[in-house]
Amino acid sequence: MIHLPSSPFPALLVGLPILMATLSLFFRPGGKAAVGLMGSILTAGLALIAFVEVTQRGTVIHILGGWEPPLGILLRMDSLAAVFIGMTAIVGVFISLYAWGYFRAQETSAEGLPLFWPLWLFLWAGLNGLFLSNDLFNLFVTIEVIGISAVSLAVLTGKTPALFAGLRYLLAAITGSMAYLFGVSLLYGSTGTLDLGLLGEVLEPGPTTSFSLLVITLGLMIKMAGFPFHFWLPPAHSSAPAPVSALLSALVVKGAFYILLRLWMEVFGVSLTYAAGQLIGLAGAIAVIWGSWQALIQTSFKLIVAHSSVAQLGYLLMVFPLLILAPGVSADSADWLSPAWTAGIYQVIAHAFAKASFFLSAGLIIMALGHDRIESLRDLVGNMRITALAIGIAGVSLIGLPPSGGFMAKWMLLKGIFLSGQWWWAPVVLMGSLLTAGYVFMLLRLAFAPAREMNTFRPVPKSLEIIALMLALGSFLIVFPADSLIQFLESSGVFGSGIESIIEGGVYGND
Amino acid sequence: METTSIMPLLILISSIIPGILILMLREHQVALRTFLNLSGAVAKVALIAWVFAGYMRGEEYNYYFRLAPDLSFALRVDQLGLLFATLSSVLWLVTTLYAIGYLEGGKHRRRFFAFFSLCVTASTGIALSGNVITFFIFYEFLTLSTYPLVVHRGTDDAVEAGRTYLWYTIGGGTLLFLGVVGLIVIAGPIYFGQTEIIASLASVNPTSLTLLFFLMLAGLAVKAAIFPLHGWLPVSMVAPAPVSALLHAVAVVKAGAFGIVRLVYDVYGIGVAEQMNLLTPLAVLAAFTIIYGSLRALFQDDFKKRLAYSTVSQLSYIALGVAIPGILSSTGAIVHLVHQGIMKITMFFAAGNVAETYGYKKISQLNGIGRRMPLTMGAFTIAVFGMIGLPPVAGFISKWYLGLGAAEAGSYWVILVLLISSALNAAYFLPIVYRAWFCEPDYEASKLRGTTRLETQALLLIPVVVTAIFSLAAGVFASAAGSPLSIAREIAERLYLYLL
């Protein structure tokens, strides 16, 4: 680990947003926004430079303060982290630009809203830290930073429904963290290490390992609103201001998935069982069907979009069973694993773009109409054509129609399903697509329908509409670099050794 | 396999760029929009002509882009694809002219023409697809780009029709998706024409391959409007006439029929498909649809609905021809792809002209219309003769080859189906012709006059005359080199080269 090239970027990626967030606290509301926006743009720029560095130099590390682990903190930026950081940067900077215009156009006198900027930058630092962390305790700290700033953002408006939703969110977040911490302490007690790589090497199958795996997985599933722990997500995501909803849905929940994927692939290889995979897959499958169904019967735009998140996150859980074959079934690893986890990562990215676009569109609709009841969307096409186009394009990606990022995800998922011989997941994927088509086209149908009464659409800033549209287009454009992105992910062998341990049920990293 | 050319990509770009630019224009920039539209359409025809000429000289035009491991975006030019691409691009040019005239002064024309361009992009994309996955991408893209056209009028009817349309096509797309993924998992990325891959797997994995065949067939049958998956087509008649024309003659239904042709001939291979007994169910369904569509057409008074059911019936000729092995019936199937297109588009143009000029939408209102619109109804009459199968119009050629093919294969029941269908075609089309030319117009109707010196606007009249001439020419000059028939015949002969 130590022999990897060192780079200052991992530290800067965490430090810069914290610095800018702290700086913004000293300014008046107007200045907060300016400093915040500047911080966002700088962080995004930095992230892209760091991304390019990893593509050039491979995995880089940074040892904070020169203290080597296990005493000090090591940040590691491999290709997987780089992809997540890059995604956060692109989606994050678009949401920041939108937030800038959105809060200005709102002209709300609400005191708290300027606090959006420092909170969002703290959140961003937390996310970057999470992607870069290399030990279980660091991960816990970043989870907490993310959780606290996310909950604060969710209650930013101070309105009653937001406060109630925020309370539930907080409760779920704390329960999740506690479960995670409990599992981590068990592992530390039995192995004496928190380092992901070391843990993978020394971990031995046994009741303690299995139990901590269970508790950590449950904790992270609460965090990512995996069924049946999804209850907190729809109210929290739908009652927040539009840019916040976009951040929560597009980015925050992905953090928990990232840890889960890392731990399952890199650490817990030895104690994963077929049944565990099937169980988590089942939770995902139910989430896909249940969430899509709930989205279909909602009558407010933001609730549709929020329930849709539950379903889309379900697809992420469905990746896990594909990583573990049934006892006695053999398959060539290169064939069957790569599509499975590629599906997960593409689902993360495609959903981030599409869902951010959706929530930003929702914000514009509320700005224009004063509410988001869907029957008022009639003749949206005539009044806000760019927003309607954005909803259409992002919706197509959510459904998974070609040539969108969502299509790439579904394609890989189905391939993984067939190649691993677990064909029973296929109908779920297809049902999910059809149900998604149901609610997306319900929205589009209304958008095209003639207006019943005189709907008064107040004019909205065109620049904000264009931001929503660009994110929607982004969910398509990400298909084009897919081939090089997959090669990039495979190149640094993120999952290479973990995969072997899963296949052989043996010890991690024995090559 | 290795040489790449951007020509096929340019063919797609020639319509996608105007589409995007038009979306960015303002509604009142009519001249610029029309210029973009027409230059795109003309450029596309020219590019395809260029590629066609080059292909005949033996040049290859292939384009590849690797999206992901074994997921390649591939455009490959072959004769069958070129035939379909030519049909699409020529009829697109004609329909664009028609639509400019038809929608003059209408609302949301920017949106209309933008999606119209995207729609033909999808359709040429389908024609030039080199592998199953690329075909699927464009197949779904077509669904999406046609939806705004179907609901274009924005009335409750139109929105409701759009909903039906989507449920059928998205449902079909899902089945096709499942089939395509399954096929690629079993057989790897299959390029069209690599029938040896399936042939080598046919004995190893017959159950899966049969299942996948019918999954994909079901997905394609939705767009090809084969019973019982045809329900969306008559409903979508609420769309404006140019859309109906495009949907019925070129884009959507042809995508389905063309897909079936590709699936049987270029993926499974006719020999394997026959061996695995995949074709009999297709033949029976197609034959049933032919009769069923005609019977339903008999009872429609709405002009466009009658044409729609007739489309349901006529399209299945293609599927039927595919399902009967033999050079002659394959020729009939492939040539009917073209012939049905030019004849049906003529009919929809004519129906649109009548509706646009006099507001008549029902057949019972058409008494004496031929005297007021001689050119329109003359063109319509030619198309009717073709549909019935009277020489020398194009439709005769299709039916003749299908009949010969059936006789050659010993499927005499197919000939019976063709005869019954022809009789039914006559029964539902000739009354329109009779009314138009030989019935006295109603007293009130006789006082209505067109507002222009011509029987209707020139932009509406020229397309219908042109496509009628195509229909006639395709029949009269069928044996000339470069006619649809001679090309179809070459394609068919090549298909059976390996089997003989």
The CA distance from A57 to A51, in Å, is: 10
Per-residue pLDDT, averaged over A177-192, amounts to: 92
The CA distance from B260 to B225, in Å, is: 12
Answer whether B113's CB lies under 8 Å from B20's CB: no
pLDDT at A498 over 50: no
Report the pLDDT value the prediction gives residue A110, as an integer from 0 to 100: 55
Torsion region of B300: left, alpha or beta (phi above 0 gives left; psi -120 to 50 gives alpha): beta
What do you get for the CA distance between the two ends of chain A, in Å? 15
**Which tokens sit at A342?**
């590629």
The CA distance from B259 to B336, in Å, is: 14
Which residues in B lie closer than 8 A to residue A450 (C-beta atoms)?
154-156, 159
Report the pLDDT value the prediction gives residue A86, as an integer from 0 to 100: 95
Report the pLDDT value the prediction gives residue A507, as an integer from 0 to 100: 31
Q: How confident is the model at residue A497 (pLDDT cuts 50, 70, 90)?
A: very low
Which residues in B lie closer than 8 A to residue A419 (C-beta atoms)?
185
Answer whether A499's CB lies under 8 Å from A333's CB: yes
Q: Do B154 and A450 touch (CB under 8 A)?
A: yes
Report the pLDDT value the prediction gives residue B450, as an integer from 0 to 100: 53
Which DSSP state fits B457? Answer: -
Residue of chain A with shortest Cα separation from B107: A382
Answer whether B378's CB lies under 8 Å from B322's CB: no
Look at A87-91, B215-219, B408-412 and tell me which has the smallest mean pLDDT. B408-412
Residue of chain B with shortest Cα separation from A407: B137
Chain A: which residues have CB within 8 Å of chain B? 338, 342, 379, 381-382, 385, 389, 396, 399, 401-403, 407-408, 410-412, 414-415, 418-419, 426, 430, 433-434, 437, 441, 444-445, 448-450, 479-480, 482-483, 486
Report the pLDDT value the prediction gives residue B153, as an integer from 0 to 100: 81
Is B162 an interface residue toward A (CB < 8 Å)? yes
Q: How confident is the model at residue B451 (pLDDT cuts 50, 70, 90)?
A: low
Give the A:B interface size as CB pairs under 8 Å.
85
Q: What is the mean pLDDT of chain B?
A: 86
* Type of residue found at A423: W
Q: Do B181 and A449 touch (CB under 8 A)?
A: no
Is B153 an interface residue toward A (CB < 8 Å)? no
Taking the CA of residue B70 and the nearest CA in chain A, the distance in Å comes to 10
Taking the CA of residue A450 and the nearest CA in chain B, the distance in Å comes to 6
Which residues in A lie closer than 8 A to residue B170 (C-beta atoms)?
399, 434, 437, 441
Report the pLDDT value the prediction gives residue A499, as an integer from 0 to 100: 47
Q: Which residue in the set A379, A419, A433 is minimally distant from B185, CB to CB?
A: A419
Is B64 an interface residue toward A (CB < 8 Å)? no
Report the pLDDT value the prediction gives residue A18, as an integer from 0 to 100: 94
Which residues in B lie closer than 8 A to residue A342 (C-beta atoms)?
68
Which residues in A lie closer than 8 A to residue B166 (C-beta atoms)?
437, 441
Taking the CA of residue B409 and the nearest CA in chain A, the distance in Å comes to 39
Q: Which residue in the set B144, B151, B185 is minimally distant from A448, CB to CB?
A: B151
Q: Do A418 and B163 touch (CB under 8 A)?
A: no
Report the pLDDT value the prediction gives residue A511, as an integer from 0 to 100: 30
Look at A376-385, A403-412, B221-230 and tell me which has the smallest mean pLDDT. A376-385
Q: Do B177 and A342 touch (CB under 8 A)?
A: no
Is B163 an interface residue toward A (CB < 8 Å)? yes
Which residues in B lie closer than 8 A to residue A396 (C-beta atoms)?
144
pLDDT at B169 over 80: yes
Q: Which long-range contacts (CB under 8 A, 24 or more apart) does B462-465 make?
A: B462/B97, B463/B94, B463/B95, B463/B97, B463/B98, B463/B349, B464/B98, B464/B346, B464/B349, B464/B350, B464/B353, B464/B375, B464/B376, B464/B379, B464/B380, B465/B375, B465/B379
pLDDT at A472 over 60: yes
More confident residue, B236 or B290: B290
Q: Which residue in the set B66, B111, B144 is minimally distant from A401, CB to CB?
A: B144
Is B28 an interface residue toward A (CB < 8 Å)? no
Look at A214-223, A230-239, B362-371 and tell me which has the smallest mean pLDDT. B362-371
Reported as a single tens digit per residue, the pLDDT across B246-305 is 876 678 889 999 999 999 989 988 888 888 888 999 999 999 999 999 999 988 888 888
Is B429 an interface residue toward A (CB < 8 Å)? no
Taking the CA of residue B113 and the nearest CA in chain A, the distance in Å comes to 15
Mutate to test the interface with A, among B184, B185, B211 (most CBs of A within 10 A): B185
Report the pLDDT value the prediction gives residue A322, as an integer from 0 to 100: 87
Q: How far is CA A308 from the centre of its chain?
A: 14
Per-residue pLDDT, averaged over A423-444, amounts to: 92
Q: Do B144 and A408 touch (CB under 8 A)?
A: no
Cβ atoms < 10 Å from Cβ of A454: 5
Q: Which residue in the set A382, A408, A415 is minimally distant from B181, CB to CB?
A: A415
Per-residue pLDDT, averaged over B490-494, amounts to: 86
Residue of chain A with shortest Cα separation from B142: A402
> Taking Cα atoms as reference points, which of B313, B162, B295 lies closest to residue B237?
B162
Residue of chain A with shortest Cα separation from B137: A402
pLDDT at A349 over 60: yes
Answer whether B141's CB lies under 8 Å from B15's CB: no
The CA distance from B198 to B188, in Å, is: 10
Q: Do B71 and A411 touch (CB under 8 A)?
A: yes
Q: Do B111 and A385 touch (CB under 8 A)?
A: yes
Q: How confident is the model at residue A98 (pLDDT cuts 50, 70, 90)?
A: very high
The full 3-state SS of A414-454, as one line of letters, equals HHHHHHCCCHHHHHHHHHHHHHHHHHHHHHHHHHHCCCCCC
Residue of chain A with shortest Cα separation from B181: A415
Reported as a single tens digit per residue, the pLDDT across A20-42 is 999 998 988 778 888 999 999 99
C-alpha count within 13 angstroms, C-beta hemisphere, residue A256:
28
Taking the CA of residue A481 and the nearest CA in chain B, the distance in Å comes to 7
pLDDT at A442 over 80: yes
Per-residue pLDDT, averaged over B311-334, amounts to: 90
Q: Do B177 and A482 touch (CB under 8 A)?
A: no
Is B155 an interface residue toward A (CB < 8 Å)? yes
Q: How confident is the model at residue A483 (pLDDT cuts 50, 70, 90)?
A: confident
Is B174 an interface residue toward A (CB < 8 Å)? yes
pLDDT at A502 over 50: no
ipTM: 0.85
Residue given tokens 């009658």 in the structure block? B306
Reported as a single tens digit per residue, the pLDDT across A133-166 is 988 999 999 999 999 999 999 998 888 888 999 9
Report the pLDDT value the prediction gives residue A365, as an integer from 0 to 100: 92
Q: Do A444 and B147 touch (CB under 8 A)?
A: yes
Domain boundaries, chain A: 135-504
β-pairing verdict for A74-77 and A60-63: antiparallel
Q: How confident is the model at residue B3 (pLDDT cuts 50, 70, 90)?
A: low
Residue of chain B with shortest Cα separation from A396: B144
Report the pLDDT value the prediction gives residue A282, as an integer from 0 to 100: 94
Is B207 an interface residue toward A (CB < 8 Å)? no
Q: Which residue in the set A434, A448, A482 is minimally distant from B154, CB to CB?
A: A448
Q: Which of residues 218-277 of B touch A (CB under 8 A)?
A: none
pLDDT at A290 over 90: yes
pLDDT at A73 over 60: yes
Which DSSP state fits B49? Answer: H
Look up the pTM and report it.
0.89
Is B71 an interface residue toward A (CB < 8 Å)? yes
pLDDT at A439 over 90: yes
Per-residue pLDDT, averaged over A414-428, amounts to: 89
Report the pLDDT value the prediction gives residue B160, as an integer from 0 to 100: 86
